[in-house]
Chains A and B, each alone.
Chain A
Amino acid sequence: MPPIRTDWVEVRAESDIVHARQLVRRLSSEMGFRLVDQTKLVTAASELARNTVVHGGGGRLSWECIAEEGREGIRLTFHDCGPGIADVQLALKDGWSTGKGLGMGLSGTKRLVNEFEIESRPGRGTRVTITKWK
């Protein structure tokens, strides 16, 4: 089934992290997600938006409200053309950070959503896609 609604926004400046949180809050609340699931998805979006800005040098958030096999969900894709991640397995470890962060962003996000996909090539960029079902 095709997505019901889809669009994208820039994730470049620090203020875009706040905007990403607000956008995902609005989408998940409009779709009638439970409050806890809204909070989990907004938190995941906040982590990935910050990574896009801080590590990826800016990029985009594409969002889709989806319906398939009788269930509804939200799929978010964060995409940048930054430096990429040399070792994705390592980056997914709790506490691993090449910056000044806590290193809980990627690993924590994975726990907060139903589906998590990451694709990264050094020198080319990073794409992280997450899905949360209602």
Chain B
Amino acid sequence: MERIPILRMGKFLLITIQVDMHDTTALALQDDLMAKIARSGARGVLIDISALDVVDSYIGRMIADISMMSKLLHARTVLVGMRPAVAITLVELGLSLRGVKTALDVEKGMELLAAALEDGDAADQD
């Protein structure tokens, strides 16, 4: 089975989904990512879906689950690069992805994660 690589970038993890995923590939990615967050102590996860031309309810659920689970492991998730046609379709399908933070591209996503980390660290010291 194909596996999606997870790249480490400092305190963050970057996942670039470049293939039309099988359902089991999506499930494996979720498991791999949680293990990697726990092992590395990463504080943020960027999921780049700019190469994906379809997001159905299965992939949508995976993204929402990752966002929720990583929060429990003290990491934030930002979804980046969603194509306009995918966004329109997701809304009509009825998936709101509420609670999932988004950014236009990887760079903006990184900024968002870095800023959130700073805020969080400041709050931790209070």
Please determine whether A36 and B20 come into contact, CB atoms closer than 8 angstroms.
no
User: How would you classify the secondary structure of chain A's contact residues: helix, strand, loop or mixed?
Assistant: helix
Q: Which residues of B contact A21 (CB under 8 A)?
A: 20, 54
The verdict on A98 contacting chain B, using a C-beta distance below 8 Å, is no
Tell me the count of chain B residues lying within 8 A, CB to CB, of chain A.
23
Docked pose: A97 CA to B14 CA in angstroms: 32
A38 contacts which chain B residues (CB < 8 A)? 85
Stretch at the interface among B5-13, B40-48, B56-64, B112-120: B56-64
- A39 touching B86, Cβ below 8 Å: yes
Does A56 make an interface contact (CB < 8 A)? Answer: no
Say if the beta carbon of A14 comes within 8 Å of chain B.
yes
Q: Does A40 touch B at the CB level, under 8 Å?
A: yes
Q: Which of A11-42 contact B (CB under 8 A)?
A: 14-15, 17-18, 21-22, 25, 35-36, 38-40, 42
For B93, give its contact among A14, A15, A108 (CB under 8 Å): A108
Q: Find A43's partner among B21, B22, B55, B61 (CB 8 Å cutoff).
A: B55
| Contacts across chains A and B counted by CB atoms under 8 Å | 72
8 Å CB interface, A64-104 against B:
94, 101-102, 104
Tell me whether A39 and B89 are in contact (CB under 8 A): yes
Contact A25 B53, CB 8 Å, known A108-B92, A112-B93: yes
Q: Are B88 and A36 closer than 8 Å at their CB atoms?
A: yes
Complex contact A104–B88 (CB within 8 A): no
Q: Chain A's nearest CB lies how many Å from the CB of B65?
A: 10
Given A43-B55, A43-B89, A46-B56: A111 and B23 within 8 A (CB)?
no
Q: Which residues of A contact B (CB under 8 A)?
A: 14-15, 17-18, 21-22, 25, 35-36, 38-40, 42-43, 46-47, 50, 94, 101-102, 104-105, 107-109, 111-112
